């Protein structure tokens, strides 16, 4: 799923928990998604257009939050992960979005995390808010890859943002911008991003379809309901 080729003789490694967030604005024919281009300096997927995201850090499990996962997002994740791990994945999606694009999903609050990763929130007095996040899909890198991730993809509307600031590029993501949905497939995308974009439409109201997982089972790549 990452574009890396399997290595002969490489023992399977346990995938690391990761998360990504697809911010949207508009709907139907006007739907846009926030994307950025990974730096050419990256070993993993350089120059590819992706959504903000990354690995779950230890500090994500203890970061104070203003609001927790709710509804279907909470239910589907906790069928697959312990509650604490599920919350940490959602927290990581919000944190990585702030680090890579400057956009904050949060509410005013106290008792902030002092971890360096949360400086953008601490600076403006916000706490991460997970209440508006919805799950799009889950994707697990096949075995025998150099890097394996168990990635949860979330989505949130632009109205979930703490303020109306514009996205800004970072060392992680360059050319950060809102892309009309119909133009996304023309970008240089990893294979899995094509899949996630298709799943995004599947889970949109008014009639969202069941959340699915992309993974390898018995040597075949499958798409299964969670």
Task: Identify which has the larger pLDDT, 182 or 1.
Answer: 182
**pLDDT of the residue at 19:** 98
Q: How confident is the model at residue 3 (pLDDT cuts 50, 70, 90)?
A: very low
Residue 136 has pLDDT above 80, yes or no: yes
**pLDDT of the residue at 180:** 98
Question: 203 φ, ψ to 5°?
Answer: -95, 0
What is the DSSP secondary structure assignment for residue 46, as one 8-state letter?
Answer: T
Helices 83-101, 71-78: axis angle to 10 degrees equals: 120
What would the mean pLDDT of 122-139 be, rounded to a whole number?
94
* pLDDT tens for each residue of 148-186: 899 999 999 999 999 999 999 999 899 999 999 999 999
How much is the pTM? 0.91
CA 64 vs CA 32, 48, 67, 68, 116: distances in Å: 30, 32, 9, 10, 14
Task: Identify which has the larger pLDDT, 5 or 129.
Answer: 129
What would the mean pLDDT of 44-73 be, rounded to a whole number?
92
Residue 61 has pLDDT above 90, yes or no: yes
**pLDDT of the residue at 10:** 54
Residue 6 has pLDDT above 80, yes or no: no
Q: How confident is the model at residue 4 (pLDDT cuts 50, 70, 90)?
A: very low
* Domain 16-225, architecture per CATH: Alpha-Beta Complex (3.90)
- Separation CA 98–CA 10 (nearest Å): 35
């Amino acid at each position: 799923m990452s574009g890396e080729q399997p290595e002969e003789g490489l023992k399977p490694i346990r995938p690391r928990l990761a998360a990504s967030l697809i911010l949207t604005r508009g709907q139907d024919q006007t739907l846009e998604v926030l994307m950025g281009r990974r730096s050419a300096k990256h070993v993993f997927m350089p120059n590819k257009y992706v959504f903000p995201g990354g690995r779950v850090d230890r500090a994500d499990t203890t970061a104070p939050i203003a609001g927790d996962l709710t509804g279907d997002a909470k239910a589907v994740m906790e069928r697959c992960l312990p509650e604490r791990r599920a919350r940490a994945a959602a927290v990581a999606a919000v944190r990585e979005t702030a680090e890579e694009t400057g956009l904050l999903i949060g509410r005013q609050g106290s008792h902030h995390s002092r971890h360096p990763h949360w400086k953008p929130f601490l600076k403006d007095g916000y706490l991460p808010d997970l209440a508006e996040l919805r799950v799009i899909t889950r994707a697990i890198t096949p075995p025998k890859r150099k890097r394996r991730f168990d990635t949860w993809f979330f989505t949130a509307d632009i109205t979930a943002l703490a303020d109306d600031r514009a996205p800004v590029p970072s060392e992680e993501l360059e050319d950060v911008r809102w892309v009309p949905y119909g133009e996304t497939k023309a970008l240089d995308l990893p294979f899995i991003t094509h899949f996630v974009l298709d799943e995004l439409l599947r889970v949109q109201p008014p009639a969202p379809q069941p959340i699915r997982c992309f993974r390898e089972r018995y040597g075949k790549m499958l798409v299964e309901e969670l």
